[in-house]
């Protein structure tokens, strides 16, 4: 009785299914959602938003990491980390004065896309714009309120012209909309 030969390149290996990784960043004062100006931002807390986003991301096949900071530099560092770069520790000699390093980077930290509500930094931060452009990570800009129906200084964003999409005025649903969009339409 003859057996069919197994092709030499035919491997029975369990494939690790790695989930696409999305980073959700919320900027200054968004930790106050739920109590902050409820007539503008509603009563949903950031914790509620992050939990709902985790559930939705899982069902869409994403891994989601959430991050909130009131500090511009911390947000910039987090964007760098999402691309695999970390600020170097202070250098003892000028000859080794690199500003970033890839040493020790966990490939799992790298993300495919960022959803960002930069809060007030939307209207002021060239640094966050440059971090997003410098890393090249595609991003969706989200605002809970309709910034265009508010004060004139909120009408300009330093990010919108570089964003894959901009969502504003949908309340907390804006975060879900961003995730759904990435799940269905982004090729990465
Ligand atoms: O902090 C915020 C929140 C905001 O980004 C929003 O989600 O509607 C709008 C910004 O103008 C404001 O500074």
ipTM entry:
0.99
The strand pair at 20-26 and 139-143 is best described as unpaired
Is 164's C-beta closer than 6 angstroms to any atom of ligand 1?
Answer: no
Edge-first strand listing for the sheet containing 62-68: 62-68, 20-26, 113-117, 139-143, 165-168
Answer yes or no: are the C-beta atoms of 76 and 127 closer than 8 Å.
yes
Q: Which atom of ligand 1 is nearest to the CA of 146?
A: 8
DSSP state of 37: S
Q: Which atom of ligand 1 is nearest to the CA of 30?
A: 1
Q: Which atom of ligand 1 is nearest to the CA of 120?
A: 13
CA pair distance 153, 150, nearest whole angstrom: 8
C-alpha of residue 30 to centroid of ligand 1, in Å: 8
- pLDDT per residue over 34-80, tens digit each? 999 999 999 999 999 999 999 999 999 999 999 999 999 999 999 99
Ligand 1, pocket-test mutation among 70, 144, 172, most atoms within 8 A of CB: 144
User: What does pTM read for this prediction?
Assistant: 0.84
Catalytic residue set = 41, 143
Which tokens belong to 129?
């714009």
CA pair distance 13, 103, nearest whole angstrom: 30
Answer yes or no: are the C-beta atoms of 135 and 159 closer than 8 Å.
no
CA pair distance 149, 152, nearest whole angstrom: 8
Mean pLDDT of the chain: 86
Backbone φ and ψ of 166, nearest 5°: -125, 130
The pLDDT of residue 3 is above 80: no
CA pair distance 79, 118, nearest whole angstrom: 12
Which tokens belong to 160?
């919108």
Which tokens belong to 63?
């891994």
Per-residue pLDDT, 88: 60
Is 26's C-beta closer than 6 angstroms to any atom of ligand 1?
Answer: no
Which tokens belong to 130?
């440059």
- pLDDT per residue over 16-41, tens digit each? 456 899 999 999 999 999 999 999 99
Is 70's C-beta closer than 6 angstroms to any atom of ligand 1?
Answer: no
Is 29's C-beta closer than 6 angstroms to any atom of ligand 1?
Answer: yes
CA pair distance 36, 21, nearest whole angstrom: 30
The pLDDT of residue 103 is above 60: no
């Amino acid at each position: 009785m003859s057996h069919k030969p197994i092709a030499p390149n035919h491997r029975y290996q369990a494939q690790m299914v790695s989930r696409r990784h999305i980073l959700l960043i919320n900027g200054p004062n968004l930790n106050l959602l739920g109590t902050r100006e409820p007539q503008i931002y509603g009563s949903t807390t950031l914790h509620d938003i992050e939990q709902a986003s985790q559930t939705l991301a899982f069902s869409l096949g994403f891994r989601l990491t959430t991050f909130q900071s009131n500090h511009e530099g911390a947000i910039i560092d987090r964007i760098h980390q999402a691309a695999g770069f970390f600020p170097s520790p202070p250098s003892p000699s000028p000859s080794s004065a690199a500003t970033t390093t890839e040493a020790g980077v966990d490939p799992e930290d790298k993300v495919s896309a960022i959803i960002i509500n930069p809060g007030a930094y939307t209207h002021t931060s060239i640094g966050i714009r440059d971090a997003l452009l410098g890393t090249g990570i595609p991003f969706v800009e989200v605002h809970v309120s309709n910034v265009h129906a508010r004060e004139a200084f909120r009408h300009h964003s330093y990010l919108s012209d570089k964003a894959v999409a901009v969502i504003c005025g949908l309340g907390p649903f804006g975060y879900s909309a961003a995730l759904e969009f990435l799940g269905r339409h982004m090729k990465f």
